Chain A
């Protein structure tokens, strides 16, 4: 079993952030995801299980694993080879993955990996556990609105501009989805729904600005 004593929600959130290597201001550079919307990258834990899932389908070499991962999950950020081999080494140490065969030659890619029975059990357990929702709060957005209101600056104009920015990104994603593969299109839908949730909050906040301002003492 992967070492993962995830019990408390707060602890988990911190843990996920730490694992994901997310830094403040991180933005996705890919053309598919235009600047403006920060993204929480897949934490290492998820990558481990994604690799286990791919190995459950078939035994694979490290190179093949990377290719398969990138095709299915890597639209935001492809895996680095180093990551693949580091993760495999850890999975092997934990007894979830074994080496099924070693071909002649040099380099790490001569090893073919397979999932162990323990690996299958662990993967099944992970897949069946509901995830705690991770509200990907755009805290910057929230902070700006509160600060604007507190300082008597026009929050409404800010929200209008922000709505426009969100809508522009939705437009780009909608265009990108046309002609995208099924997998990419699922991912884009996931993004669209999250941006839409932000927009709902923006509209909701716009209508409650008066009450909010009063509560904040303006």
Chain B
């Protein structure tokens, strides 16, 4: 894809925890509307990579550029703002607030961004049917099936109009049918909205939804073998 659609670039990323290196020189990029899968066994550095790209962790060396801005050099407050305004997140579990009904969980990013409650909830109402959650807005997360919780998490990740979504094992706790539904919705919606997606997974079935894959081992890319 051409350079003008490039959304995020990571170059020469290194990160260690104490004496243990988690990333040993990672290069990677994502274009607008592209779904990228980062694969690798547990301990290969996938999640560390995702956290560095999303500005949750600061790499020891290397640079992360989002839309021309150096994420790794932004002050904390700017980075938080960037994450809220431009990024969406989907994790494996434990991401919905158990005390809040689904609608308010989905509306949360808008509420945190300063949108009025009524407007935020109205926007959330519009997202539920897109993810097959019609009529479930008043339920609490504990009353939903696993696949529905993940779909609500996707709605929440998308509601504030992010340009990039980070998903860490988004189907990890689901059976294969629910996993297929979640991935299909995530990928379809991302494409419709021209959102870039970075999915970290060890599941080949999940990676098969991505337009492109990189495979990691020991903090490095092993596939594709040569970086163009």
Chain A residue nearest to B202 (CB atoms) is A203
Residue B93, interface by CB 8 Å:
no
Give the contacting residue for A170; candidates B184, B205, B223; CB below 8 A: B205
Q: How far is the CA of A163 from the CA of B204 in the complex (A)?
A: 10
Which A-chain residue is minimally distant from B223 (CB atoms)?
A164
A59 contacts chain B at the CB level, 8 A cutoff: no
Q: Which of A187-218 contact B (CB under 8 A)?
A: 192, 195-196, 199, 203, 207
**CB-based nearest A residue for B177:** A189
Find out whether the CB atom of A170 lies under 8 angstroms from the CB atom of B204.
yes
Bound-state CA distance A163–B225 (Å) is 12
**CB atoms of A167 and B225 under 8 A apart:** no
A171 and B215: CB pair below 8 A?
Answer: no
B200 to chain A, nearest CB (A): 15
- Are A164 and B215 interface neighbours, CB within 8 A? yes
On chain B, the number of residues with a Cβ less than 8 Å from chain A's Cβ atoms is 15
Question: Quick check: is B208 within 8 A (CB to CB) of the other chain?
Answer: yes
Q: Closest approach, in angstroms, between the C-beta of A125 and any C-beta of chain B?
A: 31
Q: Does B213 contact A (CB under 8 A)?
A: yes
| Nearest chain A CB to B94 CB, angstrom units | 27
Q: Are B225 and A192 in contact (CB under 8 A)?
A: no
Smallest Cβ distance from B181 to chain A, in angstroms? 13
Main secondary structure of the interface of B (DSSP, over half): mixed
Residues A196 and B205 in contact in the complex (CB < 8 Å), given A164-B215, A167-B213: yes
Q: Which residues of A contact B224 (CB under 8 A)?
A: 164
Q: Which of B19-69 contact A (CB under 8 A)?
A: 39, 41
A64 on interface, CB distance cutoff 8 Å? no
Q: Mark A127-166, 1 if CB is under 8 A from B, else 0.
A: 0000000000000000000000000000000001101101
Collect the chain A residues with CB atoms within 8 Å of residue B222's CB.
160
Interface presence of A121 (CB below 8 A): no
Minimal Cβ-Cβ distance residue in B for A199: B204
Q: Does A96 contact B (CB under 8 A)?
A: no
List 20 extra interface pairs beyond A164-B224, A171-B207, CB under 8 A: A160-B215, A160-B223, A161-B225, A163-B223, A164-B223, A167-B39, A167-B208, A170-B204, A170-B205, A170-B207, A171-B208, A171-B210, A173-B208, A174-B208, A174-B209, A192-B208, A195-B204, A196-B205, A199-B204, A203-B41
Please give the residue numbers on chain A whose beta carbons come within 8 Å of chain B beta carbons, in ascending order: 160-161, 163-164, 166-167, 170-171, 173-174, 178, 192, 195-196, 199, 203, 207
Q: Could you write out 24 A-B pairs with CB less than 8 Å apart?
A: A160-B215, A160-B223, A161-B223, A161-B225, A163-B223, A164-B213, A166-B204, A167-B208, A170-B204, A170-B205, A170-B207, A171-B207, A171-B208, A171-B210, A171-B213, A173-B208, A174-B208, A174-B209, A192-B205, A192-B208, A195-B204, A196-B204, A199-B204, A203-B41
